[in-house]
Amino acid sequence: MSMEYSSGAPPVQRLIDEFSRLPGVGPKSAQRLTYHLIRMPAEQAETLASAILSVKTRITLCSKCFHITEDDPCTICSDITRDRSKICVVEQPLDVMALEKTSTYDGLYHVLHGVISPINGIGPDDIKLKPLVQRLMDSEVTELIVATNPNLEGEATSMYIHRLIEPSGIKITKPARGLPVGGDLEYADEATLGRAIEGRQNF
């Protein structure tokens, strides 16, 4: 049986319905967010509304790396100090942000906007793979870092990319797999621990 929450006024119900459509927001959370907005000062609500609008009207995809950007090419692709011999392939724009936070990678990116997922009927043509191949043909890239998620679909995607790019002679690498910093060895699962041992390094 579906639960309905009576809001008392149509605009309030409309906002609750809109919030409910967001990922991870259920009807109760949507109701809480709506009543929080009602109590919010009008200027703050306007700032939020204009931020949402500007994301939709001003944000586009970079024509080179497919990262989300306000200007095309994006700030990373147009930064002349970055190392153009390396491209890091990631699944989503959020992965670029996570890697940028590490401050250890100074190359370029390529966002696939998905992953090969046979069980969901998503194949290589449904993600930004063809533009990657084209980009590699037109550039002086010497290393491709395939940073897809370490799960079955991410691994399948990385293997497919490896198969596709290997004949070009470009060096293909992937991030090390292993134990999380601050984690306990005894709680690590066999697959993670096994890969950590396989990928051990000299002191």
Partner 1 sequence: MVRNRVYKTDAVVLKQMPLGETNRIITFYTREYGKIAAIARGVRRPGSKFGGSLEILNHVEAAFGRGRSLDSVNECVVINSYKYLRQNLTAIAQGIYIAELVDIFGEDRSANIRLFEILSETLSNLDRYENSEFWVLWFEFRLLHFSGFLPEFIDCVECRSPLDRSDHTFNPVAGGILCPLCADSDVNDQSWVVSVTGLTVLRYFQRSLELTLGQADADISVVDLLDVKTFLRIYMRYIAERDFKSTGFLDLIKFKNN
Q: Which residues in this chain contact partner 1 in the complex, by CB under 8 A?
A: 23-24, 116, 118-121, 123-124, 150-153, 155-156, 159-160, 163, 180, 182-183, 187-192, 194
Strand partners, 108: 87
Please choose, from the candidates 121, 14, 101, 107, the residue with its C-alpha nearest in 3D space to the C-alpha of residue 64. Answer: 107
User: Which amino acid is residue 129, in one-letter code?
Assistant: L
CA distance 139 to 132: 11
Shortest spacing between CB 164 and partner 1, in angstroms:
9
Q: Which is nearer to partner 1, 1 or 137 (CB)?
A: 1
Residues 38 and 15: their CA atoms lie apart, in Å, by 10
As measured in angstroms, the least distance from the Cβ of 119 to partner 1 is: 5
Tokens 């533009």 map to which residue? Answer: 131
> Cβ(27)–Cβ(16) under 8 Å?
yes
CA distance 52 to 72: 20
Q: Report, in Å, the least distance between residue 203 CB and partner 1.
A: 25
Question: Smaller CB distance to partner 1: residue 30 or 74?
Answer: 30
- In the bound state with partner 1, the residue whose beta carbon lies nearer, of 8 and 24, is 24
CB of 33 to partner 1, least distance (A): 15
Q: Which is nearer to partner 1, 11 or 123 (CB)?
A: 123
